[in-house]
C-alpha cells in the first residue's frame, strides 16, 4: 500500500502542468484544482527562537508543504524537529485530514515551494472557488458579477468563511453589530447577492447574515453534497461556528424549504421564520414547472433556453439585469452537482412547527397552486401567518420589494 506521503507527492506532481518558458510562475501554481493544496501550510506550526510562529497565507505568496519532493520552484527546507506538532497534517482536495507520523519521517525534512497568486484571483479563497467552475475564466467572470451586485448594498459587508463538515460556507454580513441576528437563505442556483432589493431595509433593523448555500453557485466551497436529510445539520453547524444562539431565519424557494426543515428539527434554535414562495414545502412542485425546467435546467441548459425559462418563471417581470446574468452564468458555467431534492412535509411534521412563521406566496407563482399551498399551511401549522402577494411571481422578494421588506421587518420585530 502506497504511503500517504507518496500519494501526496503524486498529487502534487500531477499539478505540474507545462507553462510558457518566459513565465516565472511555478508551472503548477495555475493548475486547475491546485487551490486547496495551497492552504496546507495553515496547519503547520514551526518553532522559532522566542516562541511559536504560525505560518499562514500571505497576500501574494503561498507555501505548499511536501516531504522530500522535487518541485519546480525555490525550495525551503525545515528540519522535522522544528515542527511543533509531532504529526504533520496536510489537506487533500476535499480538505479532509491526512496524518503522517513524524517517527517514520525522522530522517527527512519538510520542503516548501514559494508560489505566487495567478492573475485574475484576488485571494486563495477565490482560487478554491474556481474549482467549482468548468474553467478558471468562467469563475473570474462570475465573481466579477457577484462583486458588482454586492457593491449595490448600502455598505460593504463583512465577508466571512466558516468551515463545517459539509464545506466552507461564505457569508456576507451587514447591519448593526448589536442588532438581532437574521439569517437569509437563497433559492436554487442563487446566492446571497439575490437580496439586493431587500438588504437595505433589513440591515437597518437586523444584523443580517446572507448565506451562500453549500453546493449552489457562489463563494462557498463544498466538501460533500447537501441532501434534503442533511441541510438542517449543515445549518446547525454553521450557526454554531457563528456563535448564533437563536436567530431569526428567512428563505426564498429552496432556501424557504431549508428554513422550515430546520425549524421543525431544531425549534429551540430559532425565534421566527419567514418563508417566501418556499419550494415544495406544502405542495409538490407542479407538473407544469417540471416540464418547463426539464430541458433548460436538467438536461441541456443554454443561454437562450434559460432566458426563456426565467421569463416564464417570473411571468415576464423585469429583474435586475446583472442578477439575471449571474443566475444564467451560474447554471451554465458551474460543474453539475447533486441537487437538494426537497419534498412536501407531512401533516405530522407541519404540526411540529410551533415556531412563529410568516408565509408569503406570489399570486402568480407557477411552482404550485398558491391558494392550495397557503390553505395547507394554515390547516396544519399552529403558529403561521400567511399572505398571497398580489401581482407577484416566484421572484416576489424583488418584484414587490417594498411590501416584502415591510412585512419582514414588522414580523421579525414582533418575534425578536
Q: Which residues have a catalytic role annotated?
A: 394
75 with 21: CB under 8 angstroms?
Answer: no
Residue among 314, 257, 309 nearest 284 (CA): 257
Cross-strand pairs, 77 = 111
Q: Report residue 113 as a C-alpha cell.
A: 515551494
- Which residue has 495553515 as its cell numbers? 42
What's the rounded Cα separation, in Å, for the pair 8 and 162? 26
Q: Report residue 412 as a C-alpha cell.
A: 421579525
Can you spell out the DSSP letters for 179-234? Answer: SPEEEEE--TT--GGGGTTTHHHHTTTSEEEEEE-TTSSSS-EESS---TTTHHHH
Q: How far is CA 90 from CA 31, 33, 94, 124, in A?
A: 19, 15, 11, 16
3-state secondary structure of 137: helix
Cross-strand pairs, 112 = 65, 76
Residue among 319, 340, 316 nearest 397 (CA): 319
Residues counted in the chain: 416
Q: Which own/partner contact pairs does 83-87 have at CB distance under 8 Å and 24+ positions apart?
A: 83/44, 83/45, 83/46, 83/47, 83/110, 84/45, 84/46, 84/47, 84/52, 85/44, 85/45
- Which residue has 501554481 as its cell numbers? 29
Q: What are phi and psi of 8, to 5 degrees?
A: -65, -40
What's the rounded Cα separation, in Å, for the pair 264 and 184? 17
What's the rounded Cα separation, in Å, for the pair 388 and 277? 9
Give just the sign of the alpha carbon dihedral 23, 147, 145, 335: positive
Amino acid at each position: 500500500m502506497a504511503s500517504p506521503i507518496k500519494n501526496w507527492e503524486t498529487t502534487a506532481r500531477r499539478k505540474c502542468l507545462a507553462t510558457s518558458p518566459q513565465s516565472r510562475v511555478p508551472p503548477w501554481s495555475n493548475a486547475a484544482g491546485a487551490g486547496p493544496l495551497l492552504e496546507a501550510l495553515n496547519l503547520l506550526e514551526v518553532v522559532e527562537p522566542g516562541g511559536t510562529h504560525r505560518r499562514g497565507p500571505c497576500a501574494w505568496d503561498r507555501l505548499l508543504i511536501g516531504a522530500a519532493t522535487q518541485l519546480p520552484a525555490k525550495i525551503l527546507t525545515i528540519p522535522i524537529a522544528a515542527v511543533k506538532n509531532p504529526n504533520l497534517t496536510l489537506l487533500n482536495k476535499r480538505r479532509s485530514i491526512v496524518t503522517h507520523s513524524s517517527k517514520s519521517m525522522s530522517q527527512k525534512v519538510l520542503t516548501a515551494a514559494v508560489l505566487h497568486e495567478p492573475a485574475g484571483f484576488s485571494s486563495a479563497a477565490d482560487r478554491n472557488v474556481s474549482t467549482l467552475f468548468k474553467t478558471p475564466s468562467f469563475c473570474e467572470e462570475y465573481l466579477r458579477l457577484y462583486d458588482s451586485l454586492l457593491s449595490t448594498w448600502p455598505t460593504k459587508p463583512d465577508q466571512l468563511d466558516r468551515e463545517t463538515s459539509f464545506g466552507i460556507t461564505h457569508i456576507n454580513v451587514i447591519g448593526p453589530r448589536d442588532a438581532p441576528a437574521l439569517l437569509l437563505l437563497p433559492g436554487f442556483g442563487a446566492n446571497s447577492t439575490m437580496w439586493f432589493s431587500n438588504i437595505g431595509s433589513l440591515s437597518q433593523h437586523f444584523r443580517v447574515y446572507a448565506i451562500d448555500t453549500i453546493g449552489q453557485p457562489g463563494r462557498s466551497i463544498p466538501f460533500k453534497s447537501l441532501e434534503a436529510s442533511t441541510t438542517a445539520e449543515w445549518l446547525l453547524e454553521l450557526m454554531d461556528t457563528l456563535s448564533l444562539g437563536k436567530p431569526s431565519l428567512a428563505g426564498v424557494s429552496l432556501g424557504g424549504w431549508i428554513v422550515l426543515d430546520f425549524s421543525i428539527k431544531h425549534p429551540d434554535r430559532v425565534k421566527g421564520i419567514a418563508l417566501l414562495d418556499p419550494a415544495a414545502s406544502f405542495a409538490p412542485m407542479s407538473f407544469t414547472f417540471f416540464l418547463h425546467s426539464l430541458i433548460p435546467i436538467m438536461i441541456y441548459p443554454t443561454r437562450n433556453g434559460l432566458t426563456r425559462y426565467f421569463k416564464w418563471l417570473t411571468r415576464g417581470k423585469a429583474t435586475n439585469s446583472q442578477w439575471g446574468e449571474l443566475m444564467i452564468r451560474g447554471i451554465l458555467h458551474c460543474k453539475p452537482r447533486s441537487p437538494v431534492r426537497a419534498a412536501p412535509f407531512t401533516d405530522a411534521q407541519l404540526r411540529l412547527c410551533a415556531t412563529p412563521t410568516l408565509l408569503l406566496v406570489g399570486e402568480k407563482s407557477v411552482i404550485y397552486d398558491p391558494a392550495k399551498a397557503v390553505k395547507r399551511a394554515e390547516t396544519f401549522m399552529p403558529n403561521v401567518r400567511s399572505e398571497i402577494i398580489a401581482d407577484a411571481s416566484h421572484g416576489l422578494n424583488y418584484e414587490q420589494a417594498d411590501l416584502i421588506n415591510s412585512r419582514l421587518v414588522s414580523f421579525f420585530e414582533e418575534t425578536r
